[in-house]
Chains A and B, each alone.
Chain A
């Protein structure tokens, strides 16, 4: 059957799948335009050497209940087991590892947002029409049915309904079955039981059950990233009806922000991140700078511009999962406190290891810019070492011309779709599968409002979910309607989502795809991170 497909080479945009010998990923071999025989690792945007991320084949990879990276053995430090005798100090936030609080200078042991106080009052009438009308509700509760988080309203007001949710979950489980979702006209309720938590999402959009469940996973990992799974289990093993809000107090805005990211950031949908467009010479210089400014305990050095990755340097053989990276983005993006000085916060990267904490040194390179440096270490006493790494990196950086290029790039973090030169093309998202990076132009006029922006993401999400259907996936999908025409295409090397003016024809869409892929190939130096480095 597979051989059959290869032989019939007639289709103009058919991809050969699998079966080809490994391709040397040398620059000289990179073709100028995508060819039918494009394979993973040679698509526009594919990294030159090693990829930066744990390579997720598809989002099913995320939804599968996989254990964290088995070969990611690091130092013993990671396994910061929680002593059995240890009592959890309520309200103390994250101090979970034995003994000392070690309140060294500059350390911020509390949640990034705690200083800002609790989120604004969210009193809402939970029986009212306005509360019901929210597009997406998310609830988190303990297995005892105790409320932990609600996106809208207060947990107190919703404790009865959360009790019902838990009752439904346990009732179905008592029959050795698992509740997945409830469907009604215009909305659906999705359940996710990841012991010791239960997550429930209610969505009024046409979002598929799988996508919603995946978003609940994100929320689950968000909570794990604050406490570690070991700690979570420990707490509930000791006191089944423990009120977890006491441990999470002040962190709700992280979940709030994550849920907003899920609405408008295609990266979370695609399991990919986007990078700041930057000349490769400058980017390579920055990478080299981070590579030199290393410390023994350093695992990842990440340079961000807003929500865009500038570069990432990692310890050899240690990979960062894009989900962990998104959680880091969320941590930085949710809080302004890191602007006030060098931050030092423990964080669990659950896709790496759900049992232990890393320690992240987070700082903005300059007070007014959105250039943020995250240094992830395994050693919780390492604040001053990392602070020194930052100083060395900055000193070196300021002496180089790359710094100027970076400053300029920060002024234009996006590009208009008109650069591609296809008038009917309104917007697109292109993901290089092997590098885990995507590129997308700024939103055009019809989608600039919040409502329209989210609508476009919902359309992409719909296409994505059709292409990645677990039992009947598609190669491509074209959908024309009154407001826009859409085209989605997945190959072994890339995924592409395009949005056209509703007046565009199919012939135009096909030629646009070819032209766009050529353009991306031409611009890949700038749009992607082709030479990721390791320490």
Chain B
């Protein structure tokens, strides 16, 4: 695909969307004139001059207030301008989060030393995608810090400001705005399908651990970035899953791949060799000075709000999260006990699942470029499946299709989101790719077909075939 701008020869520079600013304010904290600065709880980039910060927050307040004229209960969610888009979120009453994203742009050089012409591409960003990214920012803050209000209750505005500073300073660096797409809208979880026998083995393993280590309150079991079992509420698991798969796991390479002298080499417990190790907490139990501190997470913040230690333990491709009430102090003895109990069993389980996994892969056929790629999402259990995206790397997930096609998927998704009815949409893009979207009973399926000479009827048949082979138990509107 040659885009016209590449063909035109001149040296043009293309800029992807980027984060211009990100701020959090509460209009109640500085209601009087001259006190506007007090409203601002966090502002990135921090070096922006004070008056400009106040001006930008003022604009957001004005926009929100203005839209209340037309709908008092549903104020603005985004503002489109020529150069950028601003996204607004009020996750807790009077707390506003604002993310400003610059539109992608093309810089065209001018002759005779004139400054280059900048052309903003105003139709490239999808509101649904970046609205979801902003919501994710809040959810991620909340799972590690609990709510904004809670921080204010415990340590006043100063504590909240400290927490925001500490969290968002790092978190904002991990957002890859140019690779956000439909998957961010879904925020789904990829589940690993297993046969009954293996699944029961995992369940009995979880039961046994919870029985022996009674401190463990919740457990989640993952294999190869896919979830198998979770005791958490869906919404908490969805954000924990996001953290694990896009942040924690990519930071830890597999021990099987580590060299002989690596500190990650397998532990020998008695006669049994196992590959278990802690991904959170101490790097190794052998270190006499090891600290047994684990990250804390907050779940069920809607009602009773629980604070928990998050222990992530991994053996080969299998990872287990154990969550323990944070009021309990975790000791070396407890960790050694857990390591001894979980390590060997998890190593065995991991190789069992691995076998299953490989069988499944063989059944699904040889790995050649298929005629179609798809994304599936189920709103009820958050199950998501994509053959469009490559393996997730730290922060970004790479899509293997042209960005314009991904945006067409996003457009279709917006149409689906508007009405609560079953619907099907089939479009043919200018590049002659076919894109099919189906929505049925809380499930959505998007297929991209690379059969340029097919007609609508053939495309329909192809998608039917796909539905019967990949989703044989799921009914889709014909």
Q: Which residues of A contact B (CB under 8 A)?
A: 1, 5, 8, 10-14, 132, 137, 161, 164-165, 167-168, 171-172, 177-187, 189, 202, 206, 209, 462, 466, 469-482, 506-507, 509-510
Partner of B81, one of A178, A462, A473: A178
The reply to whether A478 and B425 form a contact with Cβ atoms under 8 Å apart is yes
Partner of A182, one of B76, B404, B428, B477: B76
The reply to whether B423 and A1 form a contact with Cβ atoms under 8 Å apart is no
The reply to whether B460 and A506 form a contact with Cβ atoms under 8 Å apart is yes
**Contacts of B233-252 to chain A: CB distance below 8 A:** none
Residues of the A chain whose Cβ atoms lie less than 8 Å from the Cβ of B283: none
The reply to whether B428 and A471 form a contact with Cβ atoms under 8 Å apart is no
The reply to whether A478 and B430 form a contact with Cβ atoms under 8 Å apart is no
The reply to whether B455 and A187 form a contact with Cβ atoms under 8 Å apart is no
21 pairs from A and B in contact (CB 8 Å cutoff): A8-B453, A137-B70, A164-B62, A177-B84, A178-B82, A179-B81, A180-B81, A180-B82, A182-B63, A184-B71, A184-B74, A184-B77, A189-B66, A472-B408, A478-B426, A480-B477, A481-B421, A481-B424, A506-B426, A507-B457, A510-B455
Minimum Cβ distance to chain B for residue A269 (Å): 18
Q: A1-B2, A171-B59, A472-B430 are in contact. List 13 more A-B contacts (CB 8 A).
A: A11-B452, A167-B62, A171-B62, A177-B84, A471-B124, A472-B407, A474-B430, A475-B429, A477-B425, A477-B426, A478-B427, A479-B425, A480-B425
Q: Tell me the nearest residue of chain B to A9, going by C-beta.
A: B453
Minimum Cβ distance to chain A for residue B325 (Å): 38
Does residue B1 face the partner (Cβ distance < 8 Å to A)? yes
Minimum Cβ distance to chain A for residue B109 (Å): 20
When chains A and B are docked, how far (Å) is the Cα of A482 from the Cα of B419?
11
Contact A182 to B79, CB < 8 A, known contacts A473-B430, A479-B423: yes
The reply to whether A182 and B81 form a contact with Cβ atoms under 8 Å apart is no
The reply to whether B423 and A480 form a contact with Cβ atoms under 8 Å apart is yes
Minimum Cβ distance to chain A for residue B334 (Å): 48
Residues of the A chain whose Cβ atoms lie less than 8 Å from the Cβ of B77: 183-185
Does residue B69 face the partner (Cβ distance < 8 Å to A)? yes
Minimum Cβ distance to chain A for residue B276 (Å): 47
Does residue B401 face the partner (Cβ distance < 8 Å to A)? no
Does residue B75 face the partner (Cβ distance < 8 Å to A)? yes
The reply to whether A179 and B79 form a contact with Cβ atoms under 8 Å apart is yes
Partner of A206, one of B84, B121, B124, B418: B418
When chains A and B are docked, how far (Å) is the Cα of A181 from the Cα of B83?
12
The reply to whether A506 and B457 form a contact with Cβ atoms under 8 Å apart is yes
Minimum Cβ distance to chain A for residue B129 (Å): 13
When chains A and B are docked, how far (Å) is the Cα of A11 from the Cα of B458?
10
Residues of the A chain whose Cβ atoms lie less than 8 Å from the Cβ of B425: 477-480
Does residue B258 face the partner (Cβ distance < 8 Å to A)? no
The reply to whether A475 and B421 form a contact with Cβ atoms under 8 Å apart is no
Residues of the A chain whose Cβ atoms lie less than 8 Å from the Cβ of B415: 206, 462, 479
Q: Tell me the nearest residue of chain A to B418, going by C-beta.
A: A206
Residues of the B chain whose Cβ atoms lie less than 8 Å from the Cβ of A507: 457
Does residue B454 face the partner (Cβ distance < 8 Å to A)? yes
Q: Tell me the nearest residue of chain B to A186, going by C-beta.
A: B74
Residues of the A chain whose Cβ atoms lie less than 8 Å from the Cβ of B75: 184
When chains A and B are docked, how far (Å) is the Cα of A13 from the Cα of B127?
34
Residues of the B chain whose Cβ atoms lie less than 8 Å from the Cβ of A480: 423-425, 477
The reply to whether A168 and B76 form a contact with Cβ atoms under 8 Å apart is no
Residues of the B chain whose Cβ atoms lie less than 8 Å from the Cβ of A189: 66-67, 70
The reply to whether A476 and B427 form a contact with Cβ atoms under 8 Å apart is yes
Contact A182 to B67, CB < 8 A, known contacts A164-B62, A167-B62: yes
DSSP majority for the A interface?
Answer: mixed
Partner of B62, one of A1, A14, A168: A168
The reply to whether B423 and A475 form a contact with Cβ atoms under 8 Å apart is no
Contact A466 to B456, CB < 8 A, known contacts A179-B79, A182-B67, A471-B121: no
Residues of the B chain whose Cβ atoms lie less than 8 Å from the Cβ of A11: 452-455
Contact A132 to B71, CB < 8 A, known contacts A168-B66, A182-B76, A470-B123: yes
Partner of A475, one of B69, B84, B123, B428: B428
**Contacts of B372-412 to chain A: CB distance below 8 A:** 404, 407-408, 411
Does residue B296 face the partner (Cβ distance < 8 Å to A)? no
The reply to whether A5 and B432 form a contact with Cβ atoms under 8 Å apart is yes
Q: Tell me the nearest residue of chain A to B75, going by C-beta.
A: A184
The reply to whether B457 and A471 form a contact with Cβ atoms under 8 Å apart is no
The reply to whether B456 and A475 form a contact with Cβ atoms under 8 Å apart is no
Residues of the A chain whose Cβ atoms lie less than 8 Å from the Cβ of B121: 471
Does residue B163 face the partner (Cβ distance < 8 Å to A)? no
Residues of the A chain whose Cβ atoms lie less than 8 Å from the Cβ of B477: 480
When chains A and B are docked, how far (Å) is the Cα of A478 from the Cα of B425?
6
Residues of the A chain whose Cβ atoms lie less than 8 Å from the Cβ of B404: 471-472
Q: Tell me the nearest residue of chain A to B404, going by C-beta.
A: A472
Residues of the B chain whose Cβ atoms lie less than 8 Å from the Cβ of A132: 69-71
Q: Tell me the nearest residue of chain B to A160, going by C-beta.
A: B69
When chains A and B are docked, how far (Å) is the Cα of A117 from the Cα of B430?
52
Residues of the A chain whose Cβ atoms lie less than 8 Å from the Cβ of B407: 472
Does residue B336 face the partner (Cβ distance < 8 Å to A)? no
Does residue B256 face the partner (Cβ distance < 8 Å to A)? no
Minimum Cβ distance to chain A for residue B117 (Å): 14
Minimum Cβ distance to chain B for residue A153 (Å): 12
Q: Tell me the nearest residue of chain B to A470, going by C-beta.
A: B123
Please provide the 10 A-B residue pairs with the shortest distance between their CB atoms, ordered closest to farther: A10-B453, A178-B82, A180-B80, A475-B428, A478-B426, A185-B74, A477-B427, A183-B78, A181-B80, A476-B428
Q: Tell me the nearest residue of chain B to A474, going by C-beta.
A: B427
Minimum Cβ distance to chain A for residue B441 (Å): 13
Minimum Cβ distance to chain B for residue A378 (Å): 38
Residues of the A chain whose Cβ atoms lie less than 8 Å from the Cβ of B92: none
Residues of the A chain whose Cβ atoms lie less than 8 Å from the Cβ of B76: 182-184
When chains A and B are docked, how far (Å) is the Cα of A183 from the Cα of B415?
15
Residues of the B chain whose Cβ atoms lie less than 8 Å from the Cβ of A179: 79-81
When chains A and B are docked, how far (Å) is the Cα of A185 from the Cα of B428?
29
The reply to whether B427 and A466 form a contact with Cβ atoms under 8 Å apart is yes
The reply to whether B423 and A509 form a contact with Cβ atoms under 8 Å apart is no
Residues of the B chain whose Cβ atoms lie less than 8 Å from the Cβ of A171: 59, 62
Does residue B107 face the partner (Cβ distance < 8 Å to A)? no
Does residue B422 face the partner (Cβ distance < 8 Å to A)? yes
Does residue B122 face the partner (Cβ distance < 8 Å to A)? yes
Minimum Cβ distance to chain B for residue A459 (Å): 11
When chains A and B are docked, how far (Å) is the Cα of A179 from the Cα of B85?
10
When chains A and B are docked, how far (Å) is the Cα of A202 from the Cα of B429?
30
Residues of the B chain whose Cβ atoms lie less than 8 Å from the Cβ of A209: 80
Q: Tell me the nearest residue of chain B to A469, going by C-beta.
A: B123
Minimum Cβ distance to chain A for residue B362 (Å): 34
The reply to whether A482 and B71 form a contact with Cβ atoms under 8 Å apart is no
When chains A and B are docked, how far (Å) is the Cα of A181 from the Cα of B421?
28
Contact digits for B349-372, partner A, Cβ 8 Å, 1 yes 0 no: 000000000000000000000000
Chain A CB within 10 A, most for which of B74, B428, B452: B428
Residues of the A chain whose Cβ atoms lie less than 8 Å from the Cβ of B456: 476, 478, 506, 509-510
Q: Tell me the nearest residue of chain A to B407, going by C-beta.
A: A472
Residues of the A chain whose Cβ atoms lie less than 8 Å from the Cβ of B66: 161, 164-165, 168, 182, 189
The reply to whether B123 and A186 form a contact with Cβ atoms under 8 Å apart is no
Minimum Cβ distance to chain A for residue B88 (Å): 9
The reply to whether A187 and B428 form a contact with Cβ atoms under 8 Å apart is no
The reply to whether B80 and A183 form a contact with Cβ atoms under 8 Å apart is yes
Minimum Cβ distance to chain A for residue B376 (Å): 19
Chain B CB within 10 A, most for which of A179, A184, A186: A184
When chains A and B are docked, how far (Å) is the Cα of A479 from the Cα of B421?
12
The reply to whether B123 and A471 form a contact with Cβ atoms under 8 Å apart is yes
Minimum Cβ distance to chain B for residue A53 (Å): 26
Contact A177 to B426, CB < 8 A, known contacts A164-B66, A168-B63, A184-B67: no
The reply to whether A472 and B429 form a contact with Cβ atoms under 8 Å apart is yes
Q: Tell me the nearest residue of chain A to B435, going by C-beta.
A: A474
Minimum Cβ distance to chain B for residue A131 (Å): 9
When chains A and B are docked, how far (Å) is the Cα of A506 from the Cα of B456?
7
The reply to whether B74 and A177 form a contact with Cβ atoms under 8 Å apart is no
Residues of the A chain whose Cβ atoms lie less than 8 Å from the Cβ of B418: 206
Q: Tell me the nearest residue of chain B to A127, going by C-beta.
A: B69
When chains A and B are docked, how far (Å) is the Cα of A456 from the Cα of B397?
39
When chains A and B are docked, how far (Å) is the Cα of A8 from the Cα of B429?
16
When chains A and B are docked, how far (Å) is the Cα of A468 from the Cα of B363?
42
